[in-house]
Homo-oligomer: A and B are copies of this chain.
Amino acid sequence: MRCVILGGAGFLGRHAGRAMAAAGYEVWSIDQTMIEPAGSAPWLAGEVQANCFDLPAWWDRCGGGIDVVVHLASSTVPATASADPVLDVQTNLAGTLGLLQALRGKGGKTRLLFASSGGAVYGRPQAVPLAENHPTLPMGAYGVTKLAIEHHLRIEEATHGQSYRVLRLSNPYGEWQRPHGIQGVIAVFAYRALHGHALDVWGDGTVVRDFVHAADVGRAFVAAARYEGSARVFNVGGGEGHSVNHIISTLEQLLGREIERRIFPARPFDPPVNVLDIQRAWDELRWKPTMAFEEGVAKALEWLRGIP
């Protein structure tokens, strides 16, 4: 069984690839960049440096006959999608549509697993935890594009029989998440705390978010690759919420010292609580997160100690 990871050199791509390999798949990474240092991704059968959306550029180079495509490719994060929604549409949406068209000619046995966003597609929560049937009223371009791709996947199955599953991820964290980005609060906080820098907190720190360890996300892709039931869209979250204050106190416990905070005014557009209901993933996929939050943060912290 052959699997390609679109975005296989990224943070989530490495976790997904490792999990798929552990489940017995021959795993290839497709990415614009090669994984460094060379040899640091021993789970891979190979890497292809290519545009993920350009299927002809990588299909044969992985040996063809691909059973599972894990689609983690994205040219944007929420902030950059809002800054340039046209680019978001022209790369991620049009790119994924091109991928679907190219898959039509490939024998029909390939299943596409798409990483959607549980934080972006629902919009402001009308009820917490957010189940998959919650209204989808995204508050940013990133979520609109994710949702449009979900619709196109549903249509592609109905009209051309394309197999797919959608995982609506909450906020993944864990080793390989870069601490210098504009998202990934756990990595950013842990890295700053390690180096003695203050943490920026908007409001009183009671805002609650859903965090899921990336190794658990990897296992969710394995479960979705094997699932033969009728559900198509699954929330994948940590199963509980954690406040900003709790993240900081967890880091303080692990580091054995207090961490300085810089308090800024609360941001009115931040919903106070955003937690995914993951019951369907358990009922249908028999998946649930296994990593305790404190253990996951400890592992992320350990990994970050090796980052300059």
User: Are A85's CB and B152's CB within 8 A?
Assistant: yes
CA distance A55 to B86 in the complex (A): 15
Mask: chain A, 59-94; 1 = CB below 8 Å from B; 0 = not: 000000000000000000000001001100110011
Residue A108, interface by CB 8 Å:
no
With contact pairs A89-B89, A89-B97, A93-B93 given, residues A137 and B151 touching in the complex (Cβ less than 8 Å): yes
Q: Interface size on A (CB < 8 Å)?
A: 26
Residue of B nearest to A85 (CB): B97
Residue A101, interface by CB 8 Å:
yes
Q: Give the residue of B89, B97, B138, B143 whose beta carbon is less than 8 angstroms from that of A94.
A: B89
User: Are B155's CB and A148's CB within 8 A?
Assistant: no
Residue of B nearest to A159 (CB): B82
Residues 99 to 114 of chain A near chain B (Cβ within 8 Å): 101
Residue A271, interface by CB 8 Å:
no
CA distance A90 to B93 in the complex (A): 9
Residue A24, interface by CB 8 Å:
no
CA distance A218 to B118 in the complex (A): 39
Q: Give the residue of B85, B86, B101, B155 whose beta carbon is less than 8 angstroms from that of A140.
A: B155
Residue of B nearest to A98 (CB): B86
Chain B contacts for A93, CB-based, 8 A: 89, 93
Residue A139, interface by CB 8 Å:
yes
User: Are A97's CB and B101's CB within 8 A?
Assistant: no
CB distance from A141 to the nearest CB of B (A): 7
Residue A147, interface by CB 8 Å:
yes
Chain B contacts for A97, CB-based, 8 A: 85-86, 89, 141
Mask: chain A, 139-165; 1 = CB below 8 Å from B; 0 = not: 111011101100110110011000000
Chain B contacts for A85, CB-based, 8 A: 97, 101, 152
Residue of B nearest to A149 (CB): B144
CA distance A85 to B82 in the complex (A): 22
Q: Give the residue of B82, B90, B144, B158 whose beta carbon is less than 8 angstroms from that of A151.
A: B144
Chain B contacts for A82, CB-based, 8 A: 159
Residues of A within 8 A of B (CB): 82, 85-86, 89-90, 93-94, 97-98, 101, 137-141, 143-145, 147-148, 151-152, 154-155, 158-159
30 A-B residue pairs with Cβ-Cβ distance under 8 Å, sorted by A, are A82-B159, A85-B97, A85-B101, A85-B152, A86-B94, A86-B97, A86-B98, A89-B89, A89-B90, A89-B93, A89-B94, A90-B90, A90-B94, A93-B93, A97-B141, A137-B151, A137-B154, A138-B155, A139-B155, A139-B158, A141-B152, A141-B155, A143-B151, A144-B148, A144-B152, A144-B155, A145-B148, A147-B148, A147-B151, A148-B148
Q: A138-B151, A138-B155, A147-B148 are in contact. List 14 more A-B contacts (CB 8 A).
A: A82-B159, A85-B97, A86-B94, A86-B101, A89-B90, A89-B94, A89-B97, A90-B90, A93-B93, A140-B155, A141-B155, A144-B151, A145-B148, A148-B148
